[in-house]
Amino acid sequence: MQFTSEQRLDDGVLEREFTLGEIPGIVWTPGSASAPTPLILLGHPGGLRKMYPRLVARAQRAAAQGFAAATIELPESGERPRSAAAEQARADLREALAAGAPVDDEIVERLILPLVDQAVPEWRATLDALLELPGIGGPVGFAGGVISIALRLAVVEPRISAAVLFAGSFVPRTMFEEARQVSVPLLVLLQWDDEGNDRQLALDLFDAFGSAEKTLHANMGGHTGVPQFEGDSGDRFFARHLR
């Protein structure tokens, strides 16, 4: 891990940009931590620069609760290289949505499965590097982003202790068997009127999760209308499971 910039935010949070190989990322640590802090990995839909205002707000909220936070750029996003196959899958998805047609399972698989296959090892390598930094310890949580990535990570990464998931992205039906292997505590947020999300598929996925503790919060509104009070819900959830 190579740090490329460092700054103190107004609340004292230390923000450091880094690269891990070709993967750009950011880590935030509380300014007044006296012992190694738990860590929350912040997922997002891609485009680290575009998402920065939301990510830094989430990181500062985590720091106020005594947690470090970190994120990385997704494959095929931001300034990372694009593949012809992924670009075609995105184009096919946009065409289906514009036509108001159901999104074919084959399109979802072409778009999501390669992303998950690449992103999850990258997150695990990042976690290896983060946990070697002074001031950051365990346990580790994962919050938001592409739900299929979080699902796979929760299955294969034993250091993930809990996850807050947003049911707002496409999930290949072939991943439902993996969902049954998830065992960590989950809080799942669902926007009932999400224009880009299959509500029934999201409910079926929640039902498939194998976790003994899983909670679904469903709120009225579209994709970007998650109520602010759900931030408090996430804070309480991680306070219970990452302390």
Report pLDDT digits (tens) over 186-208. 999 999 998 878 899 999 999 99
CB atoms within 10 A of CB 58: 21
Q: Give the integer Cα–Cα distance in Å for 194 and 177.
A: 24
Is the peptide bond between 172 and the residue preceding it cis, with omega within 30 degrees of 0? no
Token readout for 186 is: 């989950």
Average pLDDT over residues 235-240: 95
Token readout for 52 is: 């920065």
Classify burial at 214, counting beta carbons within 10 Å of its beta carbon; exposed 0-12, middle 13-18, buried 19 or more. middle
Q: What is the pLDDT of residues 36-78, one digit of tens each?
A: 899 999 999 999 999 999 999 999 999 999 999 999 999 999 8
Q: Report the mean per-residue pLDDT for the chain.
A: 93
pLDDT of residue 34: 65
Under 8 Å between Cβ of 30 and 68: yes
- pLDDT band per the 50, 70, 90 thresholds, residue 99: confident
- pLDDT band per the 50, 70, 90 thresholds, residue 125: very high
Q: Who wins on pLDDT, 121 or 197?
A: 121
pLDDT at 110 over 90: yes
Q: Who wins on pLDDT, 66 or 33?
A: 66
Q: What is the pLDDT of residues 15-28, one digit of tens each?
A: 999 999 999 999 99
Under 8 Å between Cβ of 214 and 243: no
Under 8 Å between Cβ of 38 and 242: yes
pLDDT of residue 181: 98
Average pLDDT over residues 126-143: 94
Give 149's contacts (C-beta < 8 A, 6+ positions apart): 43, 74, 115, 116, 119, 120, 123
DSSP 220: S
pLDDT of residue 33: 65
Q: Give the integer Cα–Cα distance in Å for 179 and 236.
A: 24
Closest CA to 140 of 70, 86, 192, 203: 70
pLDDT at 150 over 90: yes
- pLDDT band per the 50, 70, 90 thresholds, residue 32: confident
